[in-house]
Chain A
Amino acid sequence: MKNNPFILGLIGALVFAHQPVMDMAPRWNGGYGFQVRYERFGSDRTIHEQNILSSYFQQTYWLEGVYTWHRAKRITFKLPYHMIERQDADLVAKAKSFGDLILAVPLKKYTNYKRRTQNFGFTPQIRIPLNEEKTSASGYLGGGISLSYSSESFSFYQLYDVFGWIYNEKDPLLGLDINLGIHPYHDNTSNTGLFAMWDITGRWQETSTRILTGPVFMTYRQNIMVRLDVKLPMVENGKKTQLSKGLFMNVGIGFVF
């Protein structure tokens, strides 16, 4: 059982494309919001099911905020705090640090229909390293572009987001996020409700292809929204030996004002 030191640097962070708050709000002029998310993923098995005595587990807390100065123009930030535990044979390393700050300017073109609303989004993004030290999850200056479409009726919600990132010292990344779901419950009096969705997340780099999928549950009451994602790898391919992404879990709470 031979360890391969290559694998650990390649798993990296799952650059999260979704925008606060939960891609949805606030839509009104002068609205603002923030959310806190916790995400974790990692594995001790490779994508080819090899036994190599290595593992990588990452937990990240995200503080994210949004300000809408016009209904079609927003500015957002996402600041991660990473906690990484990696093992190479007998060598175990743990690290905690702030990751790269992500700033974005989501621009949206809305169209309202009688019982439906939709928008096309164009979002330039920049990723700014806060630490000089490079890790698998941070330390890379990068720029990204996202093209998205979402549509919502009272009963159905759908979001498609295609995005690309380029970095100064890292492979470019192409991503696709799809959310499809239903809105089975809403109470107008208390503005309380529930979404149940399915998420498909695809990430393509020169060295790997990963597609994760799983359910999403989102509940809200007045101006508070809670979202839970659980995803499993459906496709994981790579030229080099790499660890699997493993079970991906995300839970977040957001507030809008």
Chain B
Amino acid sequence: MLGLVSAQTVVLNDKTITILKDEVVLEVSGLVCSFCATGLQGGLSSLKYVDGKKYKNGVFVNVEYQYAVIAEMIDHDINVDEAITMITKSGYEVLSVYTNRTGEKIEVRRFEAKKDEK
């Protein structure tokens, strides 16, 4: 089940996730291994405007349902394209990005799955 969006929640891989106002949620294909989480957390937490007080240095990674949550500082947005590049360099692919900038409506960016990586 890919990205069924309601007012404040989205269903990713059968898991209902609430998208908070100051968070970015990325659905990541191939994100299944334990050490994936370590690599992603390290990379994503170094992005500008990540709120390191939340989660583990501002990043939560769920390898069971293959998504990452980045907490943003209030009134600041992270650079989502940099986050996508970071995830790609970590060996994974971003399938979709969910934001809730206004706190009222979830916005979705979807990316075509590219299976092969060199």
Contact = CB atoms under 8 A, between A and B. Distances in A.
Size band of the interface chain A makes with B: 20 to 34
B13 interface: yes
Nearest to B60: A188
A112 B37 contact: no
Interface string A221-257: 0110100000000000000000000000000000011
Nearest to A195: B34
B47 to A, nearest CB: 14
Interface stretch (A114-122, A133-141, A167-175): A114-122
B59 to A, nearest CB: 11
A188 B17 CA distance: 15
Contact of A112 (B30, B40, B60): B30
A111 B33 contact: no
B46 to A, nearest CB: 11
Nearest to B64: A154
A24 B89 contact: no
A220 B39 contact: no
A72 B118 contact: yes
Contact of B63 (A114, A154, A223): A154
A109 B117 contact: yes
Contacts of A191: 34, 37-38, 41, 56, 61
A210 interface: no
Contact of A188 (B30, B37, B95): B37
A28 B32 contact: no
Given A109-B117, A109-B118, A114 B39 contact: no
Contacts of A153: 32
Contact of B32 (A26, A152, A257): A152
B39 A31 contact: yes
A256 B113 CA distance: 28
A68 to B, nearest CB: 9
Contacts of A186: 34, 63-64
Contacts of A112: 29-30, 91-93, 115, 117
Nearest to A192: B34
B118 A28 contact: no
B58 to A, nearest CB: 14
A37 to B, nearest CB: 17
A25 B39 contact: yes
25 contacts: A27-B39, A28-B43, A29-B90, A31-B39, A71-B90, A71-B91, A110-B30, A110-B91, A110-B117, A112-B29, A112-B30, A112-B91, A112-B92, A112-B117, A114-B29, A115-B32, A116-B32, A117-B33, A152-B32, A152-B33, A153-B32, A186-B34, A191-B37, A191-B56, A225-B35
> 6 smallest A-B Cβ distances: which pairs?
A112-B30, A117-B30, A25-B35, A71-B91, A28-B90, A28-B39
Interface of A: 24-29, 31, 71-72, 109-117, 152-154, 183, 186, 188-189, 191, 193, 220, 222-223, 225, 256-257
